[in-house]
Chain A
Amino acid sequence: MQPDQLIEKFQQKDESAFAKIYELYSESIFGIIYSVLHNQELSEEVLQDVFLKAWNNAASYTPEKGRFFTWLLNIARNAAIDKTRSKAFKNSKQNQNAAYFVDILEEKSSFSSRIDAIGIKKYIEVLEPICKKVIHLLFFKGYTQKETAEALEIPLGTVKTRNRICINKLREVLDIK
């Protein structure tokens, strides 16, 4: 459930609401940023910037434009892409090639207690290569359908449904039906 009341309070600059929002969303947003930067220190920095920006521009979120999570996602992706221009990022020895989120998941040994680690591991095992790419571009990188179709050289009309199949599989293993 989207915590609508909490969001409203957050928009009215209620600090305890902000703390709860941070608690709810910071780890997923951190994951998104890290999947772009592959650098823990820089990702933490960007994470703080993102929530600071969200706080300072809280009034600019309107439910008509979409989900609150989506709003945060967009701020995070933009901030992470901005960071890739920084000297700090260019000097970091991280692998700057477009690694897939799956690579991060495969390298990881321990998961936060908040997630269904068994489900996620199982998902990586059953994930088709095309799903890996589609989710990487659309969700983690925020590509449009058109950009995704071009990057993967698949027909534009199939992007949406293909992605749905991939996400359905995720929900199946995580038992979100």
Chain B
Amino acid sequence: MINSQEYIDSGVLELYVYGTLSEAESREVTRLIAEHPELLVEVERIEKGLQQLSNATAPYTPSDFKSIYHKIKTQNGENVIPLSRKRTPLTSYLGWAAALVLLAGLGYQFAQNKKLEDKITDIQREQVLQEGRTQMTQERLVQTETLLDALRNKDIITVPLKAQEIAPDAYAAVYWDKDASKTYVDVRGLPQPPKGKVYQLWSLTLDPLTPTNMGVLDQYDTRGTQLFEIDNPNTSQAFGITLEPKGGSDTPTLEELYVLGVVEP
């Protein structure tokens, strides 16, 4: 027995409708569907959604059935012209023999051709895959270059944030582009936040000490660079990072201050 909901949630039924499972896997899914009607309901909904989606990508409604009907009629209509002339047995056997040799030759050629075509399909698929990879790499490169350009800007202010008592090895840095009111925060040196907690960045003015929330640092980008780009319109004199409950807090929890750094005047 399987748990239907878990099975549905695994996403296997979508792949079943796509036709990207192996034949054995598909047969297994078909077998389970026959046993569990709720799986059939789900499959039909998925199929309905996909039909709508692919339907929408059609440039227009294709021509009606008539043209294809015409084709199935004509493909069956090829008549063979009968041979009425009598031949001597020997020549007719020779004719058959020649035809057989030719047929065998053709069959061989056909098989070879098929092999080559399969190979081409494989190569083309590989090429499409490769193009996908190249595209992803290029996207990343552009991202990285943009970041690098930002960090190399001569007007950027670097503020190292030093460890506080709570985690003596922690380290972070803020790169602040005052003109563009942007900061880049590098948090690679912070320990992994415990479950249910997030790091939150604060801009501080010192006299009197006033913290301004700059946002929680929980949306790590997929590349794992752990660099955040955050707008900073504040006249910051220092930056600090605290550990806060999920979602962030309105005021910093100072007992959980991880790193702190003052902007050099």
Instruction: Give the A-B contact count at a CB cut-off of 8 A.
Output: 192
- B136, chain A: closest CB distance, angstroms: 6
A111, closest chain B residue (CB): B56
Q: Is the CB of A66 within 8 A of B68?
A: no
Q: State A161–B11 Cα separation when bound (angstroms).
A: 5
In the complex, chain B residues whose CB is within 8 Å of the CB of A57: none
Indicate whether B45 reaches chain A with its CB closer than 8 angstroms.
Answer: yes
The verdict on A28 contacting B54 (CB below 8 Å), with A51-B68, A85-B124, A163-B11 known, is: yes
Q: Name the A residues within 8 Å of B31 (CB-CB).
A: 64
- CA–CA, A126 and B131, complex, Å: 26
A10 at the interface (CB under 8 A from B): no
CA distance A141 to B69 in the complex (A): 28
Interface-facing stretch out of B15-23, B171-179, B181-189, B254-262:
B15-23
Cβ–Cβ contact A74 & B65, under 8 A: no
Which residue of A56, A63, A82, A145 contacts B15 across the interface (Cβ within 8 Å)?
A: A145
Number of interface residues of A (CB under 8 A): 82
Q: Which residue of A lies closest to B16 (CB)?
A: A66
B32 located at the interface, meaning its Cβ lies under 8 Å from any Cβ of chain A in the complex: no
Contact of A163 among B14, B30, B56, B128 (CB under 8 A): B14
Contact between chains at B20 and A143 (CB < 8 Å): yes
Q: Is B132 an interface residue (CB 8 A)?
A: yes
Query: CB distance A65 to B71 under 8 Å?
Result: no
Chain A residues positioned under 8 Å from B146 (CB to CB): none
Contact B55 A167 (CB under 8 A): no
Question: Which among B11, B47, B68, B135 is the interface contact of A69 at CB below 8 angstroms?
Answer: B47
Task: Flag if B20 contacts A65 (CB, 8 Å).
Answer: no
Question: Which residue from B48, B72, B133 sits with its C-beta under 8 Å from A176?
Answer: B48
- Fill in one digit per residue for A53-97: 1 if any B CB lies within 8 Å of its CB, else 0: 001100000011111011101100000011011000000000001
Chain A hits for B129, CB < 8 A = 147, 150-151
- Whether A70 lies near B59 (C-beta < 8 A) is no
- Nearest residue in B to A110 (C-beta to C-beta)? B60
B51 touches A28 (CB 8 A): yes
Q: Do B131 and A31 touch (CB < 8 A)? A: no
- Please tell me if the beta carbons of B56 and A160 are within 8 angstroms of each other in the complex: no
Can you spell out 11 A-B residue pairs with CB atoms less than 8 angstroms apart?
A: A27-B62, A35-B54, A65-B30, A66-B16, A66-B26, A66-B29, A70-B17, A138-B15, A151-B132, A160-B10, A174-B48
Q: A27-B58, A65-B23, A139-B53 known; 13 other A-B pairs, CB under 8 Å?
A: A22-B68, A48-B68, A56-B75, A66-B17, A69-B50, A71-B19, A81-B124, A85-B120, A98-B135, A101-B54, A112-B61, A160-B15, A163-B11
- Kindly list the 9 A-B residue pairs having the minimum CB-CB distance in the complex, ordered from nearest: A164-B11, A160-B11, A31-B57, A31-B58, A151-B132, A31-B54, A70-B19, A28-B54, A30-B58
